[in-house]
Amino acid sequence: MSAPVCLPAWGHTWVDLPVLRMPMPGTELIPCADGCFQLPISIRTPEDPVEHAVHRWFLGHHGAFLVWKFLSASLDRLIREPDSRSVRLAALGYDAYSVMLAYSGSCSREMYEDVIRPMMVTFDPAFSGRWARDYEPLPDLLRRARAALGPVAAEPLSSASKANLVAHMEVMRRLVPGGPSLLRESGRSRTTTTDAERARFDEFFLVSRENVCVSRYRAHRAAVLSAIGHDLAKHPLRSEHGETLRTFATRL
C-alpha cells in the first residue's frame, strides 16, 4: 500500500481536491468492515478562472481514473460473457471517458500553455499520459472484446471507442496544435514505461494506491461525478455531456 499523497511541493497546492484512493489495476475493492462509515467527501468548484481551469484538469482526470477502472471491468466481463447489455455498458463507459477528456481539457490554449503545461514540465519534463497505469490494459481488452463479440454485436462499442479517439484528438489539436508532446520533447518517447513513471503519474494527479473499501470508493466516485455534473450545468460545454454523466452514474 502506498502512503497517502500529500499536497504536492511543485506549486499547485491550491488544487483543493481530496486525494483519490484507488486500488492497483486488477485488484478488487475490499469488503467494508462492520460499522464502516464514510466521512463526507466535499469537492468545491473555484470561481477564479485560473483555479477553475486547473481544477477541471485535475478533477477531470480523477473522473478518467474512475472510468478506466469501470471500463477494465466491463471489457473483461464482455470477453468472458458477451451479451448486449454489457456491450451497452462498455459503450457508455467510453462515452463517459469522452466527457472527461472534454471537461479536463476545456481550458483555453493560452491557459494550458501558461499554467497547466508548465506545472507538468516542472513536475517531470517528460510527463505523459502514457504513464497512466489504469489506461494501459484498455486497448488490448477492447480488441479482445470486439473479437469475442464479432463486428455486428460490437458495433455500439466500436462506435463509442472511435468517438472517444476523436474526442482525444480534438483536445490535443486545440491545446497543442502541431506541437510535440512533453515526452517527445524530452527525448524519452521510445522508452518503455516504468513503474516509477506510473507512480509519478499517480502522484501528480493526487492518486494514492491502497486497499479501498467498497463504500469509500463508491462515495468518492459519486462525489467526483456529481461535482463535474454540477460544474457542467453551470458552465456547459455541450448539452449532451450532462446527460451522459447522469446516465453513466445511474448504471454503476
Residue 146's contacts (CB-CB under 8 Å, 6 or more residues apart) are: 154, 157, 158
Rg of the chain in Å (alpha carbons): 18
- Report pLDDT for 36: 75
Q: Which of 78, 81, 93, 95 shows the shortest CA–CA distance to 143?
A: 78
Q: Please give the DSSP secondary-structure letter assigned to residue 88.
A: H
Q: What is the pLDDT of residues 26-76, one digit of tens each?
A: 999 999 987 676 678 999 999 999 999 999 999 999 999 999 999 999 999
Q: What is the pLDDT of residues 88-144, one digit of tens each?
A: 999 999 999 999 999 999 999 999 999 999 898 888 888 999 999 999 999 999 999
Residue 88's contacts (CB-CB under 8 Å, 6 or more residues apart) are: 156
Q: Are strands 20-22 and 207-209 parallel, antiparallel or unpaired?
A: parallel
| pTM above threshold 0.85 | yes
The mean pLDDT of 194-221, rounded to a whole number, is 94
d(CA 225, CA 215): 15
